[in-house]
Amino acid sequence: MNIQITPITRPILALLNIGLYVMMFTACSTLPKQLDSQRQDDGEYFVRKVEVNQNYSRALISFGLHDNNSWETRSRPTAIHNKDAVSYGDLLRVTIEGMGDMNGLYQINQSGEIDLPIPHSLPVYGKSRREIISLLSQELVRLEWFHADYVRVDVSVVRTAPANILISGAVFKPGRTSINNTPSSKQEDKVQQFSGTYSTARQLLAALQAAGGIRPDADLSNIFLMRDAHVIHVDLSSVIDNQQFSNVPALIEGDHILVLSTGSENAQLITPSQVTPPGMRLFMSNLIAPSLSNAQGAVGSDSTRLPYGSSLLDAAISANCVGGTQSANASRSVLLVTRNHGSKHQIVVNRSIDQLLANSSDHSVNPFVMPNDAVACFDSKFTNFRDVARGIGEAISPLILGGLL
């Protein structure tokens, strides 16, 4: 069959030739050649580093920890003994035997005092229940209202107030955070019906959760709490093993927590626990084939929230990057946009789906995803070639139709 070349068909043939060259070059590559991997990913091996920022260095200095060595090798600062201290806004019930008019509920004011009907306010901020009882008893004896042998005082914490805590070091969201916030729907009138309270929402574990949880480089055996000029050392290494642990202090307004870093990522800490993130949000792009929205690609709010400890393969499956026609889609690839621990600079990691499936247990090939990481899917070479060919066909169809007419 002879094709007659006319002034109309000549540009069409030229366009077809250009289209063939485009398909040859574009179908061979589905990703940019240069990825911003910070030289940490060679296509097969990737491990996040730990970067020490200025905030962490300043926190070490403020705690008197000028290096990152083990706590046991240094002299210990003065420890905090009253781990059940009261804070601003706490509500106390005071009972004095023989003085019923003074009995009642007293809230600690912004000066850290309670205003009893005595000549001077009683400073109680940072003190334990036993210390407050002793302080009030001494004051009543000093005022000569009671003899030392006959004074009977009882103090109990009825309600604990929220507390603003500063958290530094190896946590996902360092900075100031508020813990033990009371829901607006909670009834306040029931406080009169009981005496004594206990709240885990103002403990160290709650503060670590409020800070986004510990990072994989955290040193759980070296956590420090600074209150005024005093420091306490806390070992939470048994939390990950679900073992019994003690010596977990309650926190008060103004406390500063420092979680030391080991300097390297520990895969054993990348698991749900009382001190790690209960879950995490990822950013996903599921445009395996062009669509108008992620909703059409079945990427909803549920699929972008994964349990802590999920891998890149888990995220790829959640984003619908895995599956479909085997011959056409087996060579898909997925990008992970992540960060080093303690850094804000992004790192781009590229893996093919075949790599992830063949090395699912190797976390240098199939790395863990971290909170707020991003995952994007790219088409296979076959799909790339098909879509380029489809686009060229759509471009030349009107020209061919015009030539026929």
Residue 327 lies in a domain: yes
Residue 60 lies in a domain: yes
Which one-letter amino acid corresponds to residue 17? N
| Same domain assignment for residues 74 and 97 | no
Residue 101 lies in a domain: yes
Residues 214 and 220: their CA atoms lie apart, in Å, by 9
Tell me the whole-structure pTM to 2 decimals.
0.78
| Same domain assignment for residues 202 and 244 | yes
| Same domain assignment for residues 312 and 228 | no
Residues 362 and 370: their CA atoms lie apart, in Å, by 17
Tokens of 179: 């813990």
Residue 306 lies in a domain: yes
| Total tally of structural domains belonging to the chain | 3
| Same domain assignment for residues 192 and 289 | no
Tokens of 59: 């926190």
Q: Which residues contact 25 (CB under 8 A, 6 or more apart)?
A: none
Q: Is the dihedral of CA 173, 366, 309, 222 positive or negative?
A: negative
Give pLDDT tens digits for 28-78. 445 566 788 888 888 889 999 999 888 888 888 888 886 655 444 444 444
Give pLDDT tens digits for 128-173. 999 999 999 999 999 999 999 999 999 999 989 999 999 999 999 9
3-state secondary structure of 75: coil
Residue 320 lies in a domain: yes
Task: Quote the pLDDT of residue 169.
Answer: 95
Q: Look at residues 159, 189, 215 and tell me which one is the last residue of a structural domain.
A: 159
| Same domain assignment for residues 60 and 110 | no
Task: Quote the pLDDT of residue 359.
Answer: 94
Residue 67 lies in a domain: yes
Residues 74 and 59: their CA atoms lie apart, in Å, by 17
Task: Quote the pLDDT of residue 336.
Answer: 95
Nearest alpha-carbon partner for 114 in 102, 105, 106, 126: 106
User: In tens digits, what is the pLDDT along the chain, a chain of 405 residues?
Assistant: 455 555 555 555 555 555 555 555 444 445 566 788 888 888 889 999 999 888 888 888 888 886 655 444 444 444 555 567 899 999 999 999 998 889 999 999 999 999 999 998 999 999 999 999 999 999 999 999 999 999 999 999 998 999 999 999 999 999 999 999 876 555 555 554 455 666 778 889 999 999 999 999 999 999 999 988 788 888 888 887 766 556 678 899 999 999 999 999 999 999 988 899 988 999 988 765 545 455 555 556 667 889 999 999 999 988 888 876 555 555 788 999 999 999 989 999 999 888 999 999 999 999 999 999 999 988 755 555 555 555 656 556 665 555 555
- Chain-wide mean pLDDT for the chain? 80
Residue 197 lies in a domain: yes
Q: In this structure, what CATH number is given to the domain that contains residue 255? A: 3.10.560.10
Q: In this structure, what CATH number is given to the domain that contains residue 145? A: 3.30.1950.10
Q: Check if the beta carbon of residue 375 is closer than 8 Å to that of residue 282.
A: yes
Strands 283-285, 374-378: pairing is parallel
SS (H, E, C) 248-295: CCECCCCCEEEEEECCCCCHHHCCCCCCCCCCEECEEECCCCCCCCCC
Residue 251 belongs to what domain range?
Answer: 54-80+164-263
